[in-house]
């Protein structure tokens, strides 16, 4: 298969390196990643400045690697509409992110946004994240990512998703033999403890760090948080359409199709 690999932790990040190793055998890989850490940039695109692209690392058979001075979404955009324009990828794998992307974090995540950009343009796309700020078991997430890609492209019945929907795979930071399995989950409810750190530079000018503790989540049944808390990986379908259809139906039932027209 032909695979586009990207991330938001940067071209040299251990998660991306693990993903490359998991997919290199028997596949054609194109790797496009930011030249530096770009976490939490969400779906940011670069339109007002030029993007520069450079080959990365030593050339290896079946693998093309590039770093760019842009966002994860820029990486996918550049790959789909330039590098792979005439021979598009069978699947896009984004990750492996250092830290889970569960609950509300999918709204901030550059990892999820890169996969979402692919799904917007009709490509099968997976965001892969490993739990913990000090995650080490990237090989576990890499093995699961490869298995999932093989099942998706192999047409496994029941694992298909509609257009403009991506797969979000979150993996606990455990050795593979300690993982209990993979559960189908919904986005959980995140609990944040965020704060601002105020400091002064040597010239007594104030500056600020946006900070917070490691997010937690409500352990509601069927949620991604519950799965990882129980030593399962979670697989969640994430859609581009953010419409709250329940509210929309309620408005239409109570007020008709329009409100402000005279």
Domain boundaries, the chain: 2-188+218-255
Query: Which residues of the chain register pLDDT less than 50?
Result: none
pLDDT per residue as tens digits for the range 157-174: 789 999 999 999 999 999
- How many Cα atoms occupy the beta-carbon half-sphere of 195 within 13 Å? 6
**Contact call for residues 199 and 207 (beta carbons, < 8 A):** yes
Mean pLDDT over the full length of the chain: 95
- pTM of this structure: 0.94
Q: 2-188+218-255: which CATH number, 2.140.10.10, 3.40.50.300, 3.60.40.10, 3.40.1210.10?
A: 3.40.1210.10
Residue pointed to by tokens 């192999």: 154
**Contact call for residues 215 and 103 (beta carbons, < 8 A):** yes
* Whole-number pLDDT of residue 59: 87
* Whole-number pLDDT of residue 261: 62
**Contact call for residues 69 and 52 (beta carbons, < 8 A):** yes
Tokens representing residue 130 in the block? 């490993």
């Amino acid at each position: 298969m032909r695979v586009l690999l990207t991330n938001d932790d940067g071209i040299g990040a251990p998660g991306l390196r693990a993903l490359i190793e998991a997919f290199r055998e028997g596949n054609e890989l194109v790797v496009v990643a930011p030249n530096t850490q770009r976490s939490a940039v969400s779906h940011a695109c670069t339109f007002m400045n030029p993007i520069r692209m450079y080959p990365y690392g030593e050339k290896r058979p079946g693998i093309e690697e590039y770093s760019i001075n842009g966002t994860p979404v820029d990486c996918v955009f550049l790959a789909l509409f330039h590098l792979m324009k005439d021979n598009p990828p069978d699947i896009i794998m984004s990750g492996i992110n250092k830290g889970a992307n569960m609950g509300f974090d999918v709204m901030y995540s550059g990892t999820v946004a890169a996969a979402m950009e692919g799904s917007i343009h009709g490509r099968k796309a997976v965001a892969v994240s490993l739990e913990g700020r000090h995650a080490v078991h990237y090989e576990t997430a890499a093995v699961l990512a490869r298995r999932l890609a093989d099942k998706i492209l192999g047409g496994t019945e029941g694992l298909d998703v509609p257009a403009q929907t991506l797969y979000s795979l979150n993996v606990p930071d455990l050795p593979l033999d300690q993982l209990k399995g993979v559960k189908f989950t919904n986005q959980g409810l995140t609990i944040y403890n965020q704060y601002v750190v105020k400091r002064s530079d040597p010239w007594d000018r104030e500056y600020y760090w946006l900070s917070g503790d490691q997010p937690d989540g409500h352990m509601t049944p069927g949620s991604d948080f519950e799965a990882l808390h129980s030593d399962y990986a979670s697989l969640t379908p994430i859609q581009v359409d953010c419409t709250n259809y329940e509210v929309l139906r309620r408005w239409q039932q109570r007020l008709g199709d329009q409100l402000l027209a005279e």
